[in-house]
Structure 1
Amino acid sequence: MNESENKLNKLIVQRIQELRKKQGLSQDELSIKSGLEIKYVNKIENFKIVITIVTLDKIIQALNVDYDSFFSLNVDEELLNEPYKMISSLQGQLEKMGKELNSLKKYI
């Protein structure tokens, strides 16, 4: 498996783990719901084997999510807005410094 395939497999497995834990399911419960052996689910989640599309389909169905939800990015809006907040804060500080410098010019 090449590096990009390895990264893709890792992202998929991490998403499976995220959704499984979010639903409060153990690996054993996921194996029962998906019809997969517990050893197989364990190997998938420990990156010992590469998940196939057929197995992924079974797991997605067992997690009761659609493909769009499974592959969607769950981005924290607060994290996205953080750089804008920092820029705004810096602009405010720069404006304040500019005003202070202007008031000091009369003493030069």
Structure 2
Amino acid sequence: MYPLSATQVKTGVRDATEVERAFECLEAEAAGPGQQTQYARGALAGYLWALGRGEPAPITGRATDGAPAMEELIAETDAATAQMEDSTRRTVPRDYLHGVHDALAWVCGHTDDKPLAP
């Protein structure tokens, strides 16, 4: 587990510790043979970026200084949606996009469903 900054209380609408636990649970689930799917990789990348430990942003490649603000989280979620809907705009596999989207949508409070390993 990585130490959280004392100033980082929230990640999106979630407590940073809750996002950290979601990351750790998915990482453990996806550790088995055949479980490290593009979806799981995308969700893990989304969580790390939301926690301020993944540079650059997983879809747009935008640089952030530490944990992204809510507006940046939403913009990255929207970028994932746009690429999922338009295959000509895709820069990474669709399942990876879906994982990033689902993780960030949960972090932003758009859903109560956290990404799970297959």
Give the shorter-chain TM-score range.
0.3 to 0.5
Which has the larger share of helix? 1
Q: So what's the TM-score if we normalise by structure 2?
A: 0.31
Higher relative contact order (CA 8 A, sep 6+): 2
